[in-house]
Amino acid sequence: MFFNEFKYSLLTTLRDRRFIMWMILFPMALGSLFKAAFSDIYENDIKFSPIPTAIVQTQKDDIFKEVIRSVSKGKDALLKVTYADSAEEAEKLLKDGKVAGIITKDGTLGLTVASNGMDTTILKAFTDRYLTEEKLIKDTLEKDPMKLPALTAALQDDLKTVKKVRLTDGVSDPYITYFFNLLAMVAACSSVTGLNVVVQNQADQSPLGARKGCSPTPKLISTLAVLAGCWLTGMMCTAVSVSFLAFVLKVDFGSRLGFVYLAAMMGGIMGNSMGFMIGSLVKGSYEKKNAAAMVVSLGGSFLSGLMIADIKPDIMEKAPIVNALNPNAVVCDSFYYLNLDAGYDRFIGKMVTMLVMTVLFTAVGFIFTRRKKYASL
């Protein structure tokens, strides 16, 4: 009996082609958009690259020229230099956004910028450093000129004071979390399918529910079969989404793609169970249940950083409990930990959380849909 119900539940869900199509098209459309919008942001705006700078030098100064040359060469270059013939030409480059600032060397060193930001702060740090070293040389010249050679030698040394240790082998681009959030939203939107479990089994919700209410099949078996059908649909939708992102859009999920599929499908199951719970808790029309499901999935998406990525670290720091209880954040974090961590500890923690949430949502759903009696239908 279970498999019979399961089969027809699956067929019913799959025959709602428009819904399935949109469930699959939704991540494809947004994923393609994210790929187009975010593919260059990391390289252009977050990852450090030499700062485009215009140089206006009205006085001959070989030391200054040598300093500029040394900071603009090699793979660790700080500046990408353009020499301008006049202040007007440099200002035009600045106003057109082609350079971040203008360093002017006449009697003294000056800096012109058009905005405050990390790039212009670095430019100021560079000019400050130049003036600092100039001051040290002047002071030494005044106090003890004999020490000048030692001082200039000390200043000219190319120092390697910092040893760098990379904390992850995963993808460093923080914008990849938008794709994680997208998959989490697909999982949460599966809750709309989960609502059907209640609608299809409650006698006061649909003619099908009324017929089922009269049938001799135990309600537990019938509901479980429909729910299992929805789980399978949810798993399918999330698996297709991961495949599209990984193989068509070439989103880099790292070397553990199998686990990404696992987490996404588990998320799909959890989303369906969440819909089942919402459907059983919210009394009234399908519209109300649907509205409640959208409130939960949209609110969850917002809190896990789909709309504003900065929300996520803020919540991680100030209210970690919200992150731990938000189903969208749990799904998103499972991908995130898989990407960032070398080990599996935190990933397994999130998978267990998804499993516990699925059991809890399903149990609540069953509790609130069982033993219903109707005076008339």
Partner 1 sequence: MQVYKLFMQILKKKMPVAMIYVVLFMVLCLAFAAKGSEETTFEESKVSIVITDNDNTAESKALTEYIGKRCRVVEPKMPKNDALYFNHISFSLTINEGYAKKLAAGDTDDLFTEEYVHENYGAAYMENFLGEYVGCVRAAVAAGDDMSAAVKSAEEAMDIDTEVKMVSSDSGKMNGFESGSGFFRYLPFILISVMMYTLSAVMVAINKKEVRFRTNCSSISPTSYGGQLLAGSVTFVMAAWVLFMVLGAFVCGGFDGKGWVQVLNSGIFAVISALVAVIVSMLINAEQTINIVSNVVGLAMSFMCGVFVPQSMLSDGVLAVGRFMPMYWYTKANDMLTGAAMYSAGKVTECIAVEAGFCAALAAVALLIFKLRVRADN
Residues 50-79 that bind partner 1 (CB under 8 A): 78
Distance CA 93, CA 116 (A): 17
Among 107, 207, 308, 373, binds partner 1 (CB under 8 A): 308
Closest CA to 194 of 334, 299, 289: 289
Token pair listed for 289: 């249940």
Determine contact, residues 233/14, Cβ cutoff 8 Å.
yes
Among 62, 85, 88, 310, binds partner 1 (CB under 8 A): 310
Give the helix/strand (H/E) hosting 57: strand 51-57
Q: How far is the CB of 110 from partner 1 (least distance, A)?
A: 6
Distance CA 246, CA 192 (A): 25
Tell me which amino acid residue 253 is.
F
Report if residue 312 touches partner 1, rule: CB under 8 A. Answer: yes
Residues in the chain: 377
Instruction: Quickly count: other Cβ atoms within 10 Å of residue 144's Cβ.
Output: 11
Among 116, 142, 214, 258, binds partner 1 (CB under 8 A): 116
Q: Contact region for partner 1 (CB under 8 A) — 28-36, 239-247, 250-258, 365-373?
A: 28-36
Q: Contact region for partner 1 (CB under 8 A) — 59-67, 125-133, 267-275, 358-366?
A: 125-133
Unique residue bearing structure tokens 């649907």: 290
Report if residue 348 touches partner 1, rule: CB under 8 A. Answer: no
Report if residue 151 touches partner 1, rule: CB under 8 A. Answer: yes
Site string for partner 1, 202-221 (x = CB under 8 A): --------------------
Report if residue 97 touches partner 1, rule: CB under 8 A. Answer: yes
Q: Contact region for partner 1 (CB under 8 A) — 140-148, 252-260, 351-359, 364-372?
A: 140-148
Report if residue 39 touches partner 1, rule: CB under 8 A. Answer: yes
Distance CA 178, CA 309 (A): 7
Q: Contact region for partner 1 (CB under 8 A) — 56-64, 158-166, 241-249, 363-371?
A: 158-166
Burial of 204 (0-12, 13-18, 19+ CB in 10 A): exposed
Among 7, 147, 250, 372, binds partner 1 (CB under 8 A): 147
Distance CA 54, CA 80 (A): 8
Report if residue 86 touches partner 1, rule: CB under 8 A. Answer: no
Q: Who's near 113: CB < 8 A, 6+ residues apart?
A: 94, 100, 101, 102, 120, 123, 124
Q: Contact region for partner 1 (CB under 8 A) — 58-66, 316-324, 355-363, 367-375?
A: 316-324
Unique residue bearing structure tokens 């977050």: 46
Residue 101, strand partner residues: 53, 113
Among 66, 218, 299, 367, binds partner 1 (CB under 8 A): 299
Distance CA 227, CA 243 (A): 24
Q: How far is the CB of 216 from partner 1 (least distance, A)?
A: 30
Report if residue 321 touches partner 1, rule: CB under 8 A. Answer: no
| Residues between 261 and 290 with contacts to partner 1, criterion CB under 8 A | 285-288, 290
Give the single-character DSSP code of 175. Answer: G
Among 62, 88, 96, 142, binds partner 1 (CB under 8 A): 96
Burial of 58 (0-12, 13-18, 19+ CB in 10 A): exposed
Kindly tell me which of 199 and 221 has the beta carbon lying closer to partner 1: 199
Among 15, 60, 75, 160, binds partner 1 (CB under 8 A): 160
Site string for partner 1, 223-252 (x = CB under 8 A): ------------------------------
